[in-house]
Structure 1
Amino acid sequence: MTLLSERMNGHWSALETLGAQERVAHVWGRLERLLETAWEHSAELRERMDGAGLTLSDIGALDDWARIPVLRKKDLVALQSRGPRLGGLLACELGDLARIYQSPGPILDPEGSGPDYWGWTEGFHAAGFRRRDVVQMTFSYHLTPAGLMLEQPLRAIGCAVIPAGPGNTDKQIELLTTLPVTGFVGMASYLRVIADKAVAQGLDLRRDFKLQVAFVAAERLPESLRQGLEADFGMLVRQGYGTAELGCVAYECPALGGMHVASRCHVEICDPQTHQPLPPGEVGEVVVTPFTDAYPLVRLATGDLSRLVAEPCACGRTSPRLTGILGRVDDTAKVKGQFVYPAQVAGVLAGFPAVAAWQVVVTNPGGRDRLALRLDMRAEVDREALVRAFQDVIKLRPELEIAGPGQAIEPGAPPLVDRRTFG
């Protein structure tokens, strides 16, 4: 079995340790090729640049990149429905893709061909995953890309993968304790659920489990939750940041101190209004361009807020680091790996005329996300039917809170309130 100390050394790719000038040359070389491909094959990119009065010759260096107008993530649903090739976003035919997923929105997530298309391998290696690890994958394999997206890098490293998927906690515990499972992939909050249930069953987390490393994503990771899991299991817990459209954007290393920008994309931190890049240390919107020719999402504005750290890292990687996700630009929230869009909630509740007013409230007591749906009622409603309808669309089960006397939702109140604290 690989020692914990050995898991904290080494790099997967030479791109992780490029010098400053080499990194600029690498990034611009990839962006230049991507732009040429997108200009020729992506109608959406040409239309966006035409609207700004730009031609291909206007973008001749990395300093020109921010002249290209951003593509907003929240506009993908409408764009994809405009016509062939996902409204011109694709630079190939659908039949040339390896897979086509769908995320809530609904947003289609195409996967191009080639190894490690989503680019997570260097992140998993940085997190300590090594050849011959047995890894339990608890992200979904159904329609959304997470399970297969994160299995591919594990196989590239040489790990064996148990495609457990989400839920069925008793079965998860059985697998984790009867097989020599050394790695966990999923949400940190779910690993905490597994740990608490195992302890309640009389199991010892260090004696009965063999876990050494965990790669967690899809939600914010409070330090208190990380430290608790590491202490209880005697393991390493590292997180990654990415989206279903983009794949890997950034990942933590053994030294912590932020998430290294992946070598397979260009990341800018931009003013949310002008979308012009901000200097390191300033908070702004995360704007990402992955180096993926099949689906060239040039300057995708994610809606997430973060800032860049440019100081050297003790791990030897030279890429800048994101200091976590600090909030959202708009009124959406990411809960248990799913974005909650107020417009979708409104669509669900339009089918229940007994609801006079509503509000989604997100909290995280004990570090676990809780989604409550507050309701003002005109009359009685089939609560279970409402919850099922909500879950079918939003992919999360809400806790209903029916407003009583003196608790009415005020006119003009925000449809979504995020009251989570992280620390």
Structure 2
Amino acid sequence: MYYHDLETESRARRRKRKWLALETLLEKAWMYSNEFKARMGAAGLTEKDIRHMDDFSRIPVLRKKEIIGLQAEQGLDWMLTREIGELRRIYQSPGPIFDPEGADADYWGWAEGFYAAGFRPRDVVQMTFSYHLTPAGLMLEEPLRCIGCAVIPAGPGNTETQIDLMRRLPVTGFVGMASFLRIIGEKAKAKGLDPRTDFSLRVAFVAAEKLTSTLRHAVEEMFGATVRQGYGTADVGCIAYECEHAEGMHLSSRAHVEICDPATGEPLPDGETGEVVVTPFTGEYPLIRLATGDLSRIVEEPCECGRTSRRLAGWLGRADDTAKVKGQFIYPAQVGVVMAEFEEIECWQMVVSNPKGKDTLTCRLKLRSGAELDHGEFAQAFQARCKLRPAVVPVDELDEDAPRLVDDRSYAE
């Protein structure tokens, strides 16, 4: 039922274990991470000022937008505690942000979550996250191999191939976005197939988008399978995951998670909504008190599954002007780099919507007087930098002080 004993340890034992892990991490970061030493120095702190768990929140939070600038100005190795050539892999996410992977087995910590969702040895799992540059595909494949599953590296898209794989192979597990699994099921039904009887799918582990109860129910009914979700980032890996009861997401045993005031970085009382701040115990790339920009709250009530960790109530929105679209973060500053490449554009705005539950990204562009824009060339340049291909909509009027990013998505539970 459990992947390891850490999932059922007492609260006192967990607090002690996590503080020992944080002490080790802080000592290593202070010795080798230029980023951490600079951040502490700017706050007038040394490693001697952080002696207890209650002191930990004195460390200033680190934001993703700061990482983009630090990596661009100082280089990735400025943030590492070991030689860059000793890493196992180096990925790149939109931003752009480099995401280094250390050498430990299940470095990103997802095996615990997969096992809680119901994945078991000898499952055949269809992986539909990308294997190209971004970490999701390999990040989530390795824990499945640790459990003992066989993995089909299908990658995203290619719906016809995805259907063929599920029809011809005994695929019992799916990893990807719930909305994509629904598309696979709908297209399979259009081909005269019944996903319940013509496929062998038993469990799906989904991430990278908001999972509403409506979407979960639709996919579970379509395939006759269990759908459980995980929550993490490309920077730190697993943060939390659902068990069979799907009543909130259990906090991972391999990180320290706080819910903080987005303005101050100070921890909030349990039950209050705030920003998720994460410190993974991985030492090669010490992202200490990483502010994710995501909002959630802590659920303290015991879970029927027997796991004793606290839980997140789920994704409750964003605390900044960043949006996640189809599993990719969109940063206005990053989009601005693309816009600057086209002198025809006078003013712009990104709009995210989800008609019929499908995320759509639209570029609203006001062009300079008399200018013409090659929409195809623009969309291609946008996709090359931001990993997403937008719809392009010319507009006659757009205020210069209009918000650069508007998230108009609504979710029917």
* TM-score, scaled relative to structure 1: 0.95
The question of whether the paired residues in 1 share the 8 Å contact of 2:201 and 2:223 is answered with yes
Match of 2:223 in 1: 233
Secondary structure at the counterpart of residue 208 of structure 2: coil
Match of 1:31 in 2: 22
CA deviations 1:209-231 (Å, max 9, x no partner) are 11010011111111110110001
Please report how far the alpha carbon of residue 256 of structure 1 lies from its aligned counterpart in structure 2 after TM superposition: 1.1
Structure 1 counterpart of 2:148, one-letter code = G
Q: Are 2:265 and 1:275 equivalent residues in the alignment?
A: yes
The question of whether the paired residues in 1 share the 8 Å contact of 2:279 and 2:287 is answered with yes
Structure 2 counterpart of 1:323, one-letter code = A
Distance 1:14 1:375 in 2: 54
Secondary structure at the counterpart of residue 384 of structure 1: helix
Structure 2 counterpart of 1:240, one-letter code = G
Distance 2:2 2:28 in 1: 30
Match of 1:5 in 2: none
Please report how far the alpha carbon of residue 380 of structure 1 lies from its aligned counterpart in structure 2 after TM superposition: 2.4
Secondary structure at the counterpart of residue 39 of structure 2: helix
Q: Are 2:54 and 1:54 equivalent residues in the alignment?
A: no
Q: How does 1:124-139 map to 2 (within 5 A)?
A: 124-139=114-129
Distance 1:344 1:81 in 2: 12
Please report how far the alpha carbon of residue 44 of structure 1 lies from its aligned counterpart in structure 2 after TM superposition: 1.4
Distance 1:347 1:236 in 2: 42
Please report how far the alpha carbon of residue 357 of structure 1 lies from its aligned counterpart in structure 2 after TM superposition: 2.1
Match of 1:73 in 2: 64
Structure 2 counterpart of 1:344, one-letter code = Q
Which segment is superposed worse, 45-54 or 14-23?
Answer: 45-54
Q: Pick from 394, 398, 403: which aligns with 1:402?
A: 394
The question of whether the paired residues in 2 share the 8 Å contact of 1:222 and 1:367 is answered with no
Secondary structure at the counterpart of residue 388 of structure 1: helix
The number of residue pairs the alignment matches comes to 410
The question of whether the paired residues in 1 share the 8 Å contact of 2:77 and 2:83 is answered with no
Q: Are 2:231 and 1:254 equivalent residues in the alignment?
A: no
Distance 1:383 1:274 in 2: 42
* TM-score, scaled relative to structure 2: 0.97
Secondary structure at the counterpart of residue 241 of structure 1: strand
Structure 1 counterpart of 2:255, one-letter code = C
Which segment is superposed worse, 35-44 or 289-298?
Answer: 35-44
Distance 2:285 2:399 in 1: 43
Please report how far the alpha carbon of residue 277 of structure 1 lies from its aligned counterpart in structure 2 after TM superposition: 0.2
Please report how far the alpha carbon of residue 87 of structure 1 lies from its aligned counterpart in structure 2 after TM superposition: 5.2
Distance 2:29 2:264 in 1: 23
Which segment is superposed worse, 350-359 or 14-23?
Answer: 350-359
Secondary structure at the counterpart of residue 231 of structure 2: strand
Secondary structure at the counterpart of residue 207 of structure 1: helix
Structure 2 unpaired stretches of 5+: none
The question of whether the paired residues in 2 share the 8 Å contact of 1:213 and 1:236 is answered with yes
Secondary structure at the counterpart of residue 268 of structure 2: coil
Please report how far the alpha carbon of residue 354 of structure 1 lies from its aligned counterpart in structure 2 after TM superposition: 2.5
The question of whether the paired residues in 1 share the 8 Å contact of 2:258 and 2:276 is answered with yes
The question of whether the paired residues in 2 share the 8 Å contact of 1:44 and 1:87 is answered with no
Distance 1:46 1:411 in 2: 39
Structure 2 counterpart of 1:57, one-letter code = K
CA deviations 1:119-169 (Å, max 9, x no partner) are 000000011101110000011111111111100110011100000111111
Please report how far the alpha carbon of residue 47 of structure 1 lies from its aligned counterpart in structure 2 after TM superposition: 1.7
The question of whether the paired residues in 2 share the 8 Å contact of 1:70 and 1:301 is answered with yes
Secondary structure at the counterpart of residue 198 of structure 2: coil
- The percent identity for this pair of structures is 62
Match of 1:155 in 2: 145
Structure 2 counterpart of 1:358, one-letter code = W
The question of whether the paired residues in 1 share the 8 Å contact of 2:232 and 2:240 is answered with yes
Quickly say closer, same or farther: Cα 1:167–1:358, change in 2 above 3 A. Answer: same
Please report how far the alpha carbon of residue 413 of structure 1 lies from its aligned counterpart in structure 2 after TM superposition: 1.3
Please report how far the alpha carbon of residue 193 of structure 1 lies from its aligned counterpart in structure 2 after TM superposition: 1.2
Please report how far the alpha carbon of residue 18 of structure 1 lies from its aligned counterpart in structure 2 after TM superposition: 1.2
Distance 1:67 1:340 in 2: 30
Q: Pick from 291, 298, 301: which aligns with 2:291?
A: 301
Q: Are 2:351 and 1:387 equivalent residues in the alignment?
A: no
Secondary structure at the counterpart of residue 238 of structure 1: strand
Quickly say closer, same or farther: Cα 1:366–1:117, change in 2 above 3 A. Answer: same
Distance 1:318 1:409 in 2: 52
Structure 1 unpaired stretches of 5+: 1-9
Structure 2 counterpart of 1:25, one-letter code = K
Quickly say closer, same or farther: Cα 1:87–1:161, change in 2 above 3 A. Answer: closer
Which segment is superposed worse, 212-221 or 378-387?
Answer: 378-387
Secondary structure at the counterpart of residue 95 of structure 2: coil
Distance 1:172 1:265 in 2: 34
Structure 2 counterpart of 1:409, one-letter code = L
CA deviations 1:6-63 (Å, max 9, x no partner) are xxxx111111111111111111111111111111111211221122222222111111
Q: How does 1:308-327 map to 2 (within 5 A)?
A: 308-327=298-317
Match of 1:340 in 2: 330
Q: Are 2:86 and 1:96 equivalent residues in the alignment?
A: yes
Alignment RMSD (CA, Å): 1.2
